[in-house]
Structure formats: C-alpha cells, structure tokens
Amino acid sequence: MTTTVDTSSHPGSDHSAPPPRPNPFTRARRAIGGNTTLVNIVGLLVAIVLLYAYLTFNAVGFMTAANQSGLLRDAALIGVAATGMTLVIIAGEIDVSTGPAVALSSVIVASGISQWGLPTWLAILLTLAIGAAWGSIAGILRARFAVPSFIATLGLWSVLRGLAQFVTNALPVQIPDSDPIMDVLNGSVLGIPTPAIVMILAFVVFGFIARKTPFGRSVFAIGGNAPAARLAGIPVRRVRVALFAIMGLLGAVSGVLLTARLGSGNSTAANGLEFDVIAAVVVGGTAMTGGRGSLIGTFLGVIFITLIGNGLVLLGVNSFLQNVVRGVIIVLAVLLNVTLSRRRGSREDD
Amino acid sequence: MTSAPPSSTRPAIAEVRGARKQYPGVVALDDVDFTIAPGEVRALLGQNGAGKSTLIRLLSGVETPDAGTVIIDGAPLAGGVAEAGRRGVATCYQELSLVREITVAENLSLGAWPIGLFGIDRKRMIASARATLARLGADIDPEAIVGSLTLAQQQIVEMARAVQEEPKLLILDEPTSALAAAEVDLVLATVRRLSAEGVAVLYVSHRMEEIRQIADSATVMRNGRVVETVSIAGADTGRIIHLMLGEALDAAPAISAGRPLGEVLLEVRELSLPPKLESVTFTARAGEVLGIAGLLGTGRTELLRAIAGYERAKSGEVAVRGVPEPRPTVSRMRRLGVGMTPEDRKGSGIIPGLGIDENIVMSDYRSVSAGGVLVAARIRTATKALAQRLAIKADNLSRPITTLSGGNQQKAVIARWLHADSDILLLDEPTRGVDVRAKAQIYDIMRQVADSGKLVVFVSSEAEELPLACDRVLVLRDGRIREEFRAPDITVADVLAASMGAHGGTPVAVPAAPSSTHPTAADSGVPSE
C-alpha cells in the first residue's frame, strides 16, 4: 500500500483550504460512483476508443456485424458475473469459483431440460436456485466460520468443476434444437444479442443497488472498514452471505445463457472465466483492498478485456501467446490506473 | 529538581540537561533536567500531554531536543535510535512489538539469528532464549508460540528482547496497562531483578500500588516541565496528585447537583468479564451523563463492549429500561437503543471511503429510505440537521469524512447514534486526540443529548474532563468500580486518586442503585416504568 505517513488528526491537506464549490468535475466524479476517479473512467474510454480504431483498421473482420455481435456475447459472459464480483471485491472479498459455477449451471440446466424432462422455465429456475444455494454456502463459510473467501471459493471452484465432470463424464449434454425459451436467450432483440441485454440489465440493476440501497451502501461500508461497520450496526454477516449468494446466482444466469448459446451443457466450459471477471473489475478501478469501486468502471473493464481477447484472435496472434499478451496488458492497465490515481492524490488514506 | 532522590549519589547513567522540544503549536518539553542512576527504578508520572512521551523519545534517541543535551553514560547523544541502543538505552513501548505467530526464541533472535552450518541454529537460538529468560527469572518456555502466552508473559518476552541488548537504561512505557492486577507481579519481579543487576529502569505508570512496590523515586511532569522528583517513601499519593495537577485545575465542577433525572435506562448487575472486569454493578438514568474513569487498561472499553453486546460477559446481567436482556447480542442491544462509539476512531469508527453523510446514516438506513431505496433528499435533511446540532464544520456533507478534522470526525460518529435515535450512548474516549475547542463542543453535545432524555456514558482517561461533563463518575480500578462521585462533588484530584489507587487496595462499595437523592421509585430495578 502507499507509505504515506499516518496523519489521523489532520487528514489530507485540503480541509484547511477554502471550501471549493461543488464543481461539475467533482459532481461528475461522485455521480460515477464512490471514489473511482474520473481519470480511470476517461482513461478506459480512451483506451477502448483507441483499441476500436486500431482493430477497425488492422484486424480483418473486426467491424463486421457478426463479430460485433459475438463481441457482445463474449462481453456478456464476463459482464454478468462481473457485476456481482464488483460488489464482492468492494466488500473486501473475492470469489474465484465463477468458471466452474457457470459450467455446472450449464450442465444442470441442460440435464434438467433433456434428461429430467423438466419444462425449460423450471429447469432454469432450478438452476438459479441451486446456484444461489452454493453461493450462500461459500458466504456462510466466510461470514459465519471466518474461512477466508479466497479459500472458501477455491474449494467451491474445485467441487463445482469436479461435480460437473462427474455427472456428465465430461461429455456435453445436448439440449433439443428448438426450445423456444433457449432460442430467445440465444437470439437478439433489435439486433442486440439477448445475453448482452441481460448484461446491461444487470449493470443497471447492480449500479442502482450499489448507489441507492442500504444493501449497496453497507457493502461499501464493510469494505471500507468492517469493524466500524459492525459497530455502526450494519449486519455484516448477512451482507456477506448475500454477496456470495448473488455471485452464485449470477454464475447460474451465465451458465443458462451459455447453454443457450452452445446448444449444450458443458462441464469444461468457461475455463478460467473467473480471471477475466476479476481482471475486468480491477481494470475498472475497483480496489482489491475493498471500499472503493464502481459498476461503470467494471462495465468499461469488461469491454476492454473482451476487446483485447477478440483483437488478439483476429490479429492472428498465436493462441498460447495470447494469454501472455493479455496478462501483460491487464497488469499494465492496473498499474497505470493505480499510478495515475495516486499521483492525483485521489487515493483515500490507507 | 528540588529534593534529590536517594540513589542519585551515584554517577548518572543518563542525563537530560535544559532540554526543550517544540512541535508545531505546542511546547512539549521546556527546560527539562533529568538524571537517573544505575540500579535505580524511577517512576515517571504526569497527565496526558505532560511531556512524558517526549522525554522518553529524547532518551531513546527517537527525537533530538531543540535545545539542551541528552547525555548517555557520560557522553552526549548525537545520533538516533541506533546509537542510543548501542550506548545502552532500550525501550519497551506500550504496544507489544512481538510477532505473535512464532515462538518466543524466534522472537528473541529476530533479525540476529544464530547461523550454523545448516542455516539457522535452532539449538543455539533456544539455548540463548532460555538463558535470557532465566536471567529475568521468568518461567516461560522458549519454544512456546508467543500468541499462546498470557499478556503478562508476552510483556516479559518483550522485556527479554530489550534485556538481550544489555541495556544500562531500560525504559518501560506503561508495561502493566494491559495486564490484570494479578499478572502485574510477574512484571514487577522482573524489574526488580534488572535493577539488582544495576540496570536503571524508567517506569511509566500511574498505578500507585505498583509504583510504591518497585520505585525508589518518582519524577512528576506537568505542562512540559519536570515539577519535582520525590522519593517514594516520603511522598503520599495526595502530594503526587497535587504535583501532577498543579493549582489551577481544580476549578469548580460545571455541573450543578440535583438535576431532575428520568427513568432508569440502564442497569448493569454483577457483570464479570475475566480478567478485565469483576462484578461490576451500576444503574444509570435518562438525562444523565455518567462518567467512567480509570487508568489505561482497567476494563473501561470491555465494560462498554459488554453492554453493547460486542463481548459476551462471563456472568452478570445488563437490563435496559428495567428489562434484563438474557442474550445481549449486538443487534438486540441496538434495537433496545444502545449505541457505542469506539475509542479507536480511525480503526473502527469512521469508514474512510464514504462521505460524512453516509458515515452518519449508516446506523439506520430505514429512516432515510422509501421502499428499500435510499432517498437523497432525506439523507440531506437528516444529516444537515445533525451537522448543525453538533456543529460539524463541513461545507458539504457529501465530502469524504477524512477531509474533516479529528474532532469533527468524532462528532460525526456520535451523530450516527443520534440519527439512529439511540437512548443509551456509550462513548469510549470521544475526546481523545481532538483539540481543546472540539473537546468543549463534545462536552456540550453530551450535555445536550442527556438533556433530551437520553443517557450518555462517557469513558475518559483524562481525569480533568470528567468534572466538566458528568453528573456522576464511577471509577474503575483493577476491574472493579472502586468509587463513585456525584456532581457537584466531583474533583479531578479525587477521581485521579481513586484511579491511581491512592486508598490502597480496599475496594469501595458502591450501592447498586443510585442513592436516595433521586426520589423516583424505580431504584429497586423493578420494571415499573
């Protein structure tokens, strides 16, 4: 962390300054959410525009309708889970079980439809409920038994992937070719793929929750200073359980969408998805130490990560090398973000 | 300065001459002379801000004086901590600096591991730790994990680490403040052994019993000056307290007696939380500011935490409005109207990332939301009114709380419980580290809150401020309530004397119910109201 000297009694140098009028800049920053700096948002926007420009001219097939639609679907896979992950990380926690959660959900929903003879809507509801349930288990382990969330969800990561492969023997579970609900979920509305609409909906809903509800503000408070939040009467445990339940639920949503897209439930799907999700959140300016972050930042982070993945494929970069490049770019982006915000003095004291 | 201690006939091991130290806005030390001889145990006494810590920092080389000199073992001290260490000054600060997860022996050789042919030589490490501990007469297993030891044992390990450096002057800054009374003997025995070896010990403490047991003399400081160095045998505690306080401070209490009080809001019966609290019993009423006095580490915080449900008492009972709470959890006590502000404002009071407004409303979101959604206008109205009432100086309440001064941060944390409309406010050291004006404002706020029919329990380690703010003061010492004072008969000297243990070890019985000056019928604790 920063090595600033602790000046608890007179924090910051600005409290003695004449009261600045709430200028548009400040207001915009607040509107964007929490303490995420405008620098971060603007920086990401610029990076995305540049990437778009570069890929439009240099990557064959980038600006085609098919690729843009695929881009949105890829973004949705990361983005839906990234909404909940933003809250989880703001609360000072982590959930690494997303990939296997998506995979097992896809297996459950596909099995529900094609093997257990459930109506599609019921299979989907069942999947969502089960997802929320295993999320709560991780949450209870964290909140009630003080198992670090990294460990609790690492365990879940292994269990979920293992279960998915065990029940399917690692074979895909096909769903019927014409399933009206699944067709809608894989279709598009006004040219926008359904998963992308779900993702945007999730961002709107969670953006609202984060800014405007007691639950959302409690998340910020807990991530900012958990003992203080507890002393202030915030139900810290309940909020933590709810966060992981939400992550489980969102993983299940992604699993259902992925099943609709692939036409099958697949135990090996979404391999390494959790890293893309966490990377998107962090690139979006959410602090891994908790207490600070925004959903709009995450949204841009999701677009950024997706663009890089898509661009590297279209540019024909060796598929093994892609991971290397992606890793370097993500770390650089975060490094730049941290450096910039520190220079601007916009880091709160820590 | 005036009366020379008996042991100062020997040449001094450490000496401070005409030292002056100024910090922005305060003169911390002013023309201070101080000497200590080998083998002498010297107590250092003084109120907060008297200059004790600054003197310690000069002796241990952490700071250099603006004027004057520090002489260690015959030569002036020029360098910093490292040089002072080489020249034989070792300091144990209040906060232990041990690594809790590793063994005693590992702690003792941290950074200076004995290296053998195959890396760290564990046998040698353990043997040397055993030797040091034996030298201190401590029965501690060198292979025990530090975290598994009692606090007193940990304190000994901390001292052992200092002793390894073969100090000529050992400075102990409130070494017993975290210890229960029974554990103190272990530390005192260790000090005695070191003194017998010829080590000079400068001992900061306010527990008169232990000072009388081990110190030869006491240096009393006040307002950055050494007032006097007295021989312990010759001075009674009243005299020492008089030296600590000076003349001016015993002003008339601000609170007049006989103010009408309301119903009994809080009853604590035989509350025990070993080793800190032992059978604490008291009653408090609406409209009252009840002070809890006591030295550092006497269980004040534990008492508040037990009442607020953050710590489960081993036995005893807490009753709110006459109704005993069988399972006092945080959420239950909160629903009953108990709110607590912590001592450690930065660590567990404020949420640094959030605005002032959000730091206030977090105690109760319901009253500022509609249909589960926060309403900005309601937050604004609620926090504006509170900020005005508590004189929180901020042009814009949505700015981060860290932009406020310490005093205003504290007011915001208090405002949190006013927002939740709690009836019982437990304030743990609310005036610590805030400036004089903010202190006065906080006294006003407590009075105002009490006058609105609530109960304020005010914990403070500064005896001077209790008469200014309280209707009644309970003095905790060694885990028990030893004395009770009522306005207008609360004096700084009495409170301090009771805290320091001037009356020896005899506990003063405190009546469970408030005395008959209150003509209400609820003293029996029957839930009649």
Contact B431, B350 (CB under 8 A): no
Which of B351, B393, B402, B435 is the best substitution to test chain A (most A C-beta atoms within 10 A)? Answer: B351
Give pLDDT, residue B9: 57
For residue A225, the chain B residues in CB contact (below 8 A) are 347-348, 350-352
- d(CA B332, CA B338) in angstroms, rounded, equals 9
User: Residue ranges of the domains in chain A?
Assistant: 37-343
Q: Which of A9, A217, A223 sits opposite B358 (nearest CB)?
A: A217
Chain A positions touching B342 (Cβ under 8 A) are 227-228, 231
- All residues of chain A having their beta carbon less than 8 Å from the beta carbon of residue B416 are 232
* Chain A / chain B CB contacts < 8 angstroms: 105
pLDDT in tens, A12-38: 344 444 444 555 555 554 444 444 467
Q: Which residues of A touch B (CB under 8 A)?
A: 8-12, 14-15, 19, 22, 30, 34-35, 212-214, 217-218, 220-221, 223-225, 227-235, 291-292, 348-350
- Smallest Cβ distance to A8: which of B339, B346, B416? B346
Q: Å from A73 to nearest chain B CA?
A: 31
3-state helix, strand, coil in chain B (%, to 5): 35, 25, 40
- Mark yes or no for CB contact B353/A22 under 8 Å: no
CB nearest to B334's CB, from A14, A221, A233: A233
Closest CA to B314 of B282, B281, B274, B267: B274
Whole-model pTM: value is: 0.79
Please state, as a whole number, how many other Cβ atoms lie within 10 Å of the Cβ of residue B137.
13
3-class state of residue B383 by DSSP: helix
What does the pLDDT look like over A124-180, one tens digit per residue?
Answer: 999 999 999 999 999 999 999 999 999 999 999 999 999 999 999 999 999 998 889
Q: Chain A closest CA to B426's CA: distance in Å?
A: 11
Contact, A59 vs A311, CB < 8 A?
yes
Residues 6+ apart with CB under 8 A from B131: none
Q: Minimal Cα–Cα distance from B324 to chain A, Å?
A: 21
| Domains (range + CATH), chain B | 1-88+168-247 (3.40.50.300), 98-166 (no CATH), 264-337+423-524 (3.40.50.300), 354-421 (no CATH)
Asked if A35 and B366 come within 8 Å (Cβ–Cβ), the reply is: no
All residues at 6 or more sequence positions from B506 whose CB lies less than 8 Å from its CB, including other chains: none
Element spanning B152, H or E: helix B151-164
Which candidate, B310, B358, B43, places its Cα nearest to that of B203? Answer: B43
Q: Which CATH class name applies to A37-343? A: mainly alpha
Q: Which amino acid is it at B91?
A: T
Residue-wise pLDDT tens for chain B (529 aa)? 444 444 445 688 999 999 999 887 778 899 999 999 999 999 999 887 788 989 999 999 998 999 999 999 889 998 888 889 889 999 998 778 888 889 999 999 887 788 888 888 889 999 999 999 998 888 899 999 998 888 888 988 998 999 888 999 999 988 887 777 777 888 899 899 999 999 999 999 888 888 889 999 999 999 899 999 999 888 888 888 888 887 655 554 556 555 678 899 999 999 999 888 999 999 999 999 999 998 877 888 899 999 999 888 999 999 999 999 988 888 899 999 999 999 888 888 999 889 999 999 999 999 999 999 999 999 999 999 999 999 998 889 999 998 888 889 999 999 999 999 999 999 999 988 787 788 889 999 999 999 999 999 999 988 888 988 899 999 998 889 999 999 888 888 888 889 888 654 444 444 443 433 443 333 333 333 3
What residue has token string 């953050």? B310
**Measured between beta carbons, which residues in chain A are less than 8 angstroms from residue B350?**
225, 228
What the block records as the tokens of A242 is: 């709810």
How many C-beta neighbours within 10 Å does residue B150 have?
14
Select the residue from B338, B345, B362 to test the A interface by mutation, using most A Cβ atoms within 10 A. B362
Scanning every residue of chain A, which has its alpha carbon at the shortest distance from the alpha carbon of B368?
A214
List Cβ neighbours of B7 (8 Å cut-off, separation of 6 or more).
Answer: B37, B39, B40, B216, B217
Contacting residues for B24 by C-beta, under 8 A, at least 6 apart: none
- Identity (one letter) of the amino acid at B363? S
A12 and B403 in contact by Cβ < 8 A?
Answer: yes
How far is the CA of A225 from the CAs of A91, A230, B406, in angstroms? 9, 9, 17
Q: Which amino acid is at A108?
A: I
Note the pLDDT of residue B1. 43
* Residues A52-89: tens digit of each pLDDT: 999 999 999 999 999 999 999 999 999 999 999 999 99
Question: Between chains, do A232 and B354 touch, taking CB under 8 Å as contact?
Answer: no
Q: Do A231 and B420 touch (CB under 8 A)?
A: no
* Residue B100 CA to its chain's centroid (Å): 22
SS3 call for B343: coil
Report the distance separating Cα B88 and Cα A8, nearest Å: 33
Cα atoms in the Cβ-side hemisphere of radius 13 Å centred on A133: 8
Computed on alpha carbons and rounded to an integer, the radius of gyration of chain A in Å comes to 21
Residue B62 identity: V
- How far lies B89's CA from each of B93, B98, B147, B189, B295, in Å? 13, 19, 27, 20, 27
